[in-house]
Amino acid sequence: MVSSSLYNSGTGMQSPHCVHTVAIGRTGAAYVEALLRTGEIEDLLAEDARATCAILLVDIGQQDMQIAIDYANSFKKRLQSRGVEADRFNFQAIALDVPERDEFFEGLNRTREFLKLEYPRYYWNPNFESYVSHTYEMPPAGSHFPRLVAKGIYANAYYAGDRPMEKALDSFVETVEKATLPSMILVPFSLAGGTGSGMVVDLARHLSNIKLGRRIPVIGVGQLSHSGDDESVQNSAGQYCALNEIDCMLDDDKNNGVITVWGDLYKSPFTGGFFVVNPEHSWQRLSSYTETGEKEVRQGFRQMVANRFVADSFMRFAMLDYGRVLFRALRPAGFTGAPHETLSSKSRNWTLFDVAKLTHPGVQVLPGEAQSRWQSVLAQWIDFIPDHSGLRDGFQTDYAEVHIHASRDMGFENIDKGIKELISSTYLLEGDSTYQSYNHEFFDALTSYANIIMPGVAKTDLEAFWASQKNYDTLDWESKLHEHAWLVDIGPMLSEPAIRFEGMAGECIWGCACWVVVSYDEIRGDKLPPANRKIILEEGIAAMTKTLVNTPGGQPNKAAKQHA
């Protein structure tokens, strides 16, 4: 039997992958539910003894966990009925308690001790104080927690007392490392909520940098808000800060600026790259033609259906062909981990995952209507892709991958043709660009959608960045502080200008001289990145091929001379 290859380089056969998940908050719980609904994960565990699956769901309180827990319990029974050993599937749902006031601040006041243990070169700041104000009144579980406070609750659970988060991560990693197939780890969360985006920056660091030693791809999956979200979530100020923080992790130049001052503790933990998930098209498709029923009930139902559909779409994609499709999708973005495939797009290291829903059961078109009516509706919602993609006008890239899901009766050929023409004319650079499409028969004859994947996105390409920035700018200083997470434990507020270093980012929350070696203009988006990632990649290739090595004929290579 020919063995499989992780990178599809030696044998022409790519190995299946184990897809593990660390999910945070209510949005993360929806992605866990979706993963457990896919038949592929169950089949992989049942059919390949080399596979394992670890799932860790983390939230403050358990109010949004129960459905995922019920799915996991049923999943365990199905695995048992198929003879799968219990220790090959590890599901943990960690509902963090809201600590008592004294316990909370005692842990935060010891932050320097904890970070010193984690990183011996950590700078011991003599001006350190708790990054959460002692006047803050802790709300009960189930309430909204600002990013800053969610970060503090996670820190207490990881460092202090019985350390439930460290134990949970140890258990998670133990199951991951039992697998003898290659693994990938997804980290889904909401970019706009407080809990997920507040915790993810530290949780991903502990997972990737400490527990795994950066050996296994850890892939961020951050879902943007949509126009139907509650007012506290829709384009929240916290989403602006989260986008800035993750940008300073993904962009090698910015990340190097951070670690130059603060050390490798703050190296990007997203070793497998980052998908920014756009739910707007799904929301618009569902809500545009549903006006019956009680308004509040209808709104809650719409939100639930739209968000779960997006989570289902992503996790169905992630498990296609036992993770092989997900792994291949990392290649154009340069995040497979293979040395020969690693080439950074720097400020354009984000990958858009747009769920473009084209038809919805019972909405706008009904079973039995003429085929021409179905084709008209499909064409209409294909044309809406640019309106609801979440991208600003003018974005272009060199690669697009589209996965179309529909019933065979809808006509894949017409859908594929329409989407290809639109994506090629709207988003792909003329000349050396690639469009890949794949058709998948969907089980629901009334539903069709397309997953549109485009690497080379910058945060400034996202409409959400600018809308969230406007909301952030309305806040007072203390409210702005509450929307930060990454770096505040060492002092800087990344999304504010440095106090003592003109033009740099990172105002110190204690009034000292903290700063980040990142231009504040780049944080704000006043200085835009190169127009597309092809420019960045060409510059990177030119730097790597700069040489004066002679050709076998004894003359310096002409191309090498030009690069030199």
For the segment(s) 18-277+311-330, the CATH number from 3.40.50.10320, 1.10.490.10, 3.40.50.1440, 3.50.50.60 is 3.40.50.1440
Query: Between 140 and 455, whose confidence is greater?
Result: 455
What pLDDT is stored for residue 265 in this prediction?
A: 85
> Do 379 and 371 touch, CB atoms closer than 8 A?
no
The tens digit of pLDDT for each residue in 164-174 reads 999 999 999 99
Strand order in the sheet with 274-278: 89-96, 53-60, 18-24, 183-190, 218-223, 274-278, 350-359, 448-457, 399-406, 434-441
pLDDT at 558 over 70: no
What pLDDT is stored for residue 476 in this prediction?
A: 96
Query: Between 276 and 534, whose confidence is greater?
Result: 276
Tell me how far apart the alpha carbons of residues 221 and 191 are, in angstroms, rounded to a whole number: 9
pLDDT at 562 over 60: no
Give 120's pLDDT tier (boundaries 50, 70, 90): confident
Q: Where are the CATH 3.40.50.1440 domain residues in the chain?
A: 18-277+311-330
Sorted by sequence, the CB contacts under 8 Å of residue 71 that are 6+ apart come out as 32, 33, 36, 37
Q: Where are the CATH 3.30.1330 domain residues in the chain?
A: 354-463
What pLDDT is stored for residue 564 in this prediction?
A: 42
User: Looking at the domain 354-463, which fold is it?
Assistant: 60s Ribosomal Protein L30; Chain: A; (3.30.1330)
Q: Kindly list the distances between the CA atom of residue 139 and the CA atoms of 65, 83, 110, 184, 239, in Å, as whole numbers in the listed order.
A: 19, 45, 22, 36, 21
pLDDT at 410 over 70: yes
pLDDT at 9 over 60: no
Q: Kindly list the distances between the CA atom of residue 498 and the CA atoms of 165, 387, 502, in Å, as whole numbers in the listed order.
A: 33, 37, 7
Report the interhelical angle of 237-250 vs 147-159 (nearest 10°).
60
Read off the DSSP letter of residue 2: P
Give 507's pLDDT tier (boundaries 50, 70, 90): very high
> Do 333 and 351 touch, CB atoms closer than 8 A?
yes
The tens digit of pLDDT for each residue in 366-381 reads 777 777 888 898 999 9
102: its two tokens: 């004294």
Region 20-29: what's the mean pLDDT? 97
What pLDDT is stored for residue 559 in this prediction?
A: 46
Sort 435 into a burial class: Cβ within 10 Å, 0-12 / 13-18 / 19+: middle
pLDDT at 222 over 90: yes
Q: Which of 170-184, 253-267, 282-296 has the lowest mean pLDDT?
A: 282-296
Mean pLDDT of the chain: 90
> Do 131 and 514 touch, CB atoms closer than 8 A?
no
Which among 350, 446, 361 has a CA at the least distance from the CA of 405? 446
